[in-house]
């Protein structure tokens, strides 16, 4: 389905450029207020939504714009300031509000920002609801009568509530005493939350990426830049490192030897632990999930299915199949027996619970999963570039697949959050994988250049 403003994770873009402008965001808030209230509001109560954000400087401006839009629609607003995206999902559900809104561009640089929505149930909005909101964005704002305007208030204990919720997902008979853990918060939304969660469960915590200044989110730290965490783990002689991204919904982990473990590996560790407790009905990955994960789960007799890229689509498929566990190799991990959405802190806690229960290191837990070499190259493209119909690109893709000889995969995918075409090749032979990816990416670049002339 074509969408004008919404991508795979809400509305996102460069601050100051359409659509991330004060005027647009106010109209977005107004349109969302009208749609969400009509769907979720009960006549006996005032409609209300929750708004949270990460640490980007532009969050102040966009928060004020959203607040104005919702107020004009007659919707009350609860403000919580910087908190992880999954915290907004939890608090929206816990407080029985009509929707939760997050101002964040996740792993993107500070100069980007975005708006994403959660339903009253704490789940990402379906495509149909986003389409309904889009339909009202370009219409004039018809402000409700003055006596019916929305009010705003701050929830002062939101951080503490979320910390307790995260801790509640860790087994009561376990703790983290004796573990030294480096926690990297990417100078983002989790900087006042994540270290406290692991500390209050007994770990000695070393904090990095916890000095946001509005401009340094994801800058050389966090899940997308794990070298800082690796350096800190080795320097501190820590047992483990945990890296979150700017809005706290994805995670990467590093062991005492500096080995990095991505979302596919962490998901596998969680499933191994759950499988020892009861039969896991199935796992959902994405088109980007490593083929080795699918093969390793097959050895455990756990069914595996692939959804479109984006944790919202993983959740939709999990719900459709009645399964509980899924995720992306980028570090979005879903444990629907613990939370309604991907949560970096909670995912890390589930991995730690398996490690503590079985007294095994992360490397030991993952001995049954050897990832296939995978090369991902992001090629900048202009919006609307018809790569799907380019004969040269299609020929190059077929050539790469032939080179892999059935022992790997080739995937071309347009990013839903950035103007990029993602070129991914994976297989058993790393040299072949890298060569195929670079050749295919070069063809894409040439095709892009030719189309712009």
Q: Distance of alpha carbon 138 from its chain centroid, rounded?
A: 28
**Residue 344 DSSP SS3:** helix
pLDDT at 326 over 70: yes
pLDDT at 195 over 70: yes
Contact 310, 286 (CB under 8 A): yes
pLDDT at 384: 78
For residue range 172-186, list pLDDT tens digits in order: 999 999 999 999 999
CA distances (Å), origin 379, targets 242, 287, 386, 418: 29, 18, 14, 11
pLDDT at 382 over 90: no
pLDDT at 101: 97
pLDDT at 41: 58
Count of alpha carbons within 13 angstroms of residue 5, beta-carbon side:
26
Q: Distance of alpha carbon 102 from its chain centroid, rounded?
A: 12
pLDDT at 367: 87
291/405 Cα distance (integer angstroms): 15
Residues 6+ positions from 292 with CB-CB distance below 8 Å: 264, 369, 370, 371, 372
The yes-or-no answer on residue 449 being catalytic is no
Q: Among 58, 106, 119, 289, which one carries the catalytic annotation?
A: 106
pLDDT at 323 over 60: yes
The CATH number, out of the four listed (3.60.21.10, 3.30.830.10, 3.40.120.10, 3.40.50.2000), of the domain defined by the range 11-158: 3.40.120.10
Q: Which tokens sit at 117?
A: 């929505």
Q: Which tokens sit at 23?
A: 């005027």
Nearest to 250 by CA among 108, 43, 400, 126: 108
Nearest to 224 by CA among 329, 85, 345: 329
Segments making up each domain of the chain, as ranges: 11-158, 177-260, 262-365, 374-452
pLDDT at 385: 87
How many residues comprise the chain? 453
CA-based torsion, 222, 224, 230, 233: positive or negative: positive
pLDDT at 1: 47
Contact 76, 48 (CB under 8 A): yes
- 158-162, 173-177, 426-430 — which is least confidently predicted? 426-430
Q: Which tokens sit at 289?
A: 């999930």
pLDDT at 453 over 60: no
317/310 Cα distance (integer angstroms): 11
If you average pLDDT over residues 398-407, what whole number do you get? 90
Contact 344, 250 (CB under 8 A): yes
Q: Which residues are registered as beta bridge partners of 113?
A: 13
If you average pLDDT over residues 401-410, what whole number do you get? 90
If you average pLDDT over residues 212-239, what whole number do you get? 97
**One fold for both 177-260 and 374-452?**
no
6/135 Cα distance (integer angstroms): 11
pLDDT at 143 over 80: yes
Q: What's the predicted TM-score (pTM) here? A: 0.90
- 332-336, 373-377, 406-410 — which is least confidently predicted? 406-410
CATH of domain 374-452: 3.30.310.50
79/103 Cα distance (integer angstroms): 11
177-260 fold: Alpha-D-Glucose-1,6-Bisphosphate; Chain A, domain 3 (3.40.120)
Contact 125, 118 (CB under 8 A): yes
DSSP for 258-304, please give it.
Answer: --EE-HHHHHHHHHHHHHHHS----EEEETTS-HHHHHHHHHTT--E
107: enclosing H helix or E strand: none
Interaxial angle between packed helices 22-40 and 127-137, expressed in degrees from 0 to 180 and rounded to the nearest 10: 130
Q: What is the mean pLDDT of the chain?
A: 93
Contact 220, 113 (CB under 8 A): no
The CATH number, out of the four listed (3.40.50.1370, 3.40.120.10, 3.40.50.360, 3.30.1330.10), of the domain defined by the range 262-365: 3.40.120.10
pLDDT at 451: 66
Contact 184, 241 (CB under 8 A): yes
For residue range 79-102, list pLDDT tens digits in order: 999 999 999 999 999 999 999 999
Question: Helix %, strand %, coil % for the chain, to 5?
Answer: 40, 20, 40
* Phi, psi at 144, each rounded to 5°: -70, 165
- 186-190, 261-265, 354-358, 383-387 — which is least confidently predicted? 383-387
Spell 8-46 as b/e; 16+ CB within 10 A means b.
Answer: bbbbbbebeeebbbbebbbbbbbbbbbbbbeebbeeeee
pLDDT at 9: 80
pLDDT at 299 over 80: yes
Place of tokens 């030294």: 180
Count of alpha carbons within 13 angstroms of residue 10, beta-carbon side:
25
398/377 Cα distance (integer angstroms): 17
pLDDT at 350 over 90: yes
If you average pLDDT over residues 43-58, what whole number do you get? 90
pLDDT at 42: 63
| CB neighbourhood size of 351 (10 A) | 25
If you average pLDDT over residues 420-440, what whole number do you get? 94
Question: CA geometry: angle at 297 spanning 240 and 166, to 5°?
Answer: 40
């Amino acid at each position: 389905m074509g969408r004008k403003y919404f991508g795979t994770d809400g509305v996102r873009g460069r601050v100051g450029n359409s659509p991330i402008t004060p005027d647009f965001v106010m109209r977005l808030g107004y349109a969302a207020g009208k749609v969400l209230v009509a769907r979720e509001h009960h006549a006996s109560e005032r409609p209300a939504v929750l708004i949270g954000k990460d640490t980007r400087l532009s969050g102040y401006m966009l928060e004020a714009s959203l607040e104005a839009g919702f107020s004009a629609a007659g919707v009350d607003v609860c403000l919580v300031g910087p908190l992880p995206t999954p915290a907004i999902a939890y608090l929206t559900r816990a407080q029985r509000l009509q929707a939760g809104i997050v101002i964040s561009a996740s792993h993107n640089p500070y100069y980007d920002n975005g708006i994403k929505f959660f339903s009253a149930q704490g789940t990402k909005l379906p495509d149909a609801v986003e389409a309904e909101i889009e339909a009202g964005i370009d219409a004039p704002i018809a402000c409700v009568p003055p006596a019916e305007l929305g009010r705003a208030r701050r929830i002062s204990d939101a951080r503490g509530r979320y910390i307790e919720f995260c801790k509640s997902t860790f087994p009561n008979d376990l703790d983290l005493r004796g573990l030294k853990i480096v926690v990297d918060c990417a100078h983002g939304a989790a900087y006042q939350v994540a270290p406290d969660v692991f500390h209050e469960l007994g770990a000695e915590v070393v904090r990095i990426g916890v000095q946001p200044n509005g401009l340094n989110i994801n800058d050389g730290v966090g899940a997308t830049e794990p070298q800082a965490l690796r350096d800190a783990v080795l320097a501190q002689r820590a047992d483990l490192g945990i890296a979150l991204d700017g809005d706290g919904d994805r995670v990467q982990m590093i062991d005492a030897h500096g080995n990095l473990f991505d979302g596919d590996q962490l998901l596998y560790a969680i499933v191994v632990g759950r499988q020892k407790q009861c039969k896991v009905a199935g796992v959902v990955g994405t088109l980007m999930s490593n083929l080795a994960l699918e093969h390793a789960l097959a050895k455990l007799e756990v069914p595996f299915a692939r959804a479109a890229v984006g944790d919202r689509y993983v959740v939709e498929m999990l719900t459709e199949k009645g399964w509980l566990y899924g995720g992306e190799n980028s570090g979005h991990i879903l444990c629907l027996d613990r939370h309604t959405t991907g949560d970096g802190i909670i995912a890390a806690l589930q991995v730690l619970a398996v490690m503590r229960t079985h007294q095994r290191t992360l490397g030991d837990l993952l001995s049954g999963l050897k990832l296939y070499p995978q090369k991902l190259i992001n090629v900048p493209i202009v919006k609307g570039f018809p790569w799907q119909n380019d004969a040269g690109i299609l020929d190059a893709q077929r050539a790469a697949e032939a080179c892999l000889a059935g022992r790997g995969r080739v995937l071309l995918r347009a990013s839903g959050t950035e103007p990029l075409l993602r070129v991914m090749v994976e297989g058993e032979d790393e040299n072949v994988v890298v060569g195929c990816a670079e050749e295919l990416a070069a063809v894409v670049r040439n095709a892009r250049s030719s189309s712009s002339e």
